[in-house]
């Protein structure tokens, strides 16, 4: 199979993951996937045939995102001037009638990035702990403890309901 075809096959999953990672920010998520795609296409010679294409692509995306986080650390956060209803802009993807799902999307935003990544790779992407450990470049034990902490935090946030969630006036975006 053409390697480009193999990469293209994985793109929908990369996009789903990026979308969840960026709290539903379509532009930021697709920018991230685009960067990962371009880097992967440039580095196809580094991919070892017979190894896990999905894990390779997710690793690239993770590294780009991590770099972006570091680069962005010095940059100001966005603050909405008052009276702007923050919910208008931080709304999760549309058409989720259920309050519970919205709570989930918001709770996810309140996880530290490394817990969010881990929970998403395991629960949304269905990766094994070993795959996640490769993608994130951390030992399996770290994957498991991040997963446990992230899931428990989600549980607490969901149980306490949306009222308990601190209002986030900032948009969390990749770019």
Partner 1 sequence: MTAKTDPELDTMLHAFVDGELDAQDEQAVRAHLETNAEAARRAEDYRHQRDALHALYDEVLDEPLSADMRAALSAPLGKRAPRVWNTPLWRMAAAVALFVVGGFSGWWSHTLSPSGTPVETAQSTPYVSRAIGAHVVYAAEVRHPVEVGADEERHLINWLSKRLGHDVRAPKLGEAGFDLVGGRLLPDDAKPAAQFMYENPAGQRVTLYVSLDTGRTQTAFRIVEKEGTSAIYWVEGDLGYALAGDLPRAEMLKIARLVYDALIA
Binding site for partner 1 (CB under 8 A): 3-4, 7-8, 11-13, 15-16, 19-20, 25-28, 30-31, 33-34, 37-38, 41-42, 44-45, 71, 74-85, 88-89, 92-93, 96, 98, 100-101, 104-105, 108, 119-120, 122-124, 128-129, 144, 147-148, 151, 154-155, 158, 171, 173, 175
CA–CA separation, 109 vs 73, rounded Å? 17
Minimal distance, residue 100 CB to partner 1, in Å? 7
Closest CA to 143 of 154, 132, 155, 128: 132
Minimal distance, residue 31 CB to partner 1, in Å? 8
Tokens 């998403």 identify what position?
120
Minimal distance, residue 114 CB to partner 1, in Å? 16
Q: Return the number of the residue (63 or 105) whose C-beta is nearest partner 1.
A: 105
Minimal distance, residue 61 CB to partner 1, in Å? 13
- Residue environment code for 134-160, b if the CB has 16+ CB neighbours within 10 A, otherwise e: bbbeeeeeebeebbebbbebbeebbee
Q: DSSP characters for 47-63?
A: SPTTS-HHHHHHHHHHH
């Amino acid at each position: 199979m053409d390697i480009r075809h193999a990469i293209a096959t994985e793109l929908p999953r990369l996009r789903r993951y990026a979308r969840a990672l960026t709290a539903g920010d379509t532009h930021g998520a697709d920018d991230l996937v685009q960067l990962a795609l371009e880097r992967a296409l440039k580095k196809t010679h580094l991919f070892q045939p017979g190894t896990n294409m999905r894990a390779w692509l997710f690793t690239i995306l993770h590294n780009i995102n991590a770099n972006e986080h570091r680069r962005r650390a010095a940059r100001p956060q966005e603050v909405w001037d008052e009276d702007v209803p923050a919910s208008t802009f931080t709304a999760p993807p549309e058409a989720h009638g259920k309050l519970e799902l919205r709570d989930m999307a918001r709770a996810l935003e309140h996880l530290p990035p490394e817990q969010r990544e881990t929970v998403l790779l395991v629960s949304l992407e269905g990766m094994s702990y070993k795959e996640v450990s490769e993608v994130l470049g951390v030992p399996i034990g770290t994957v498991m403890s991040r997963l446990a902490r992230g899931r428990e935090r989600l549980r607490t946030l969901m149980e306490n309901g949306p009222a308990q969630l601190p209002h986030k006036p900032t948009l969390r975006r990749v770019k």
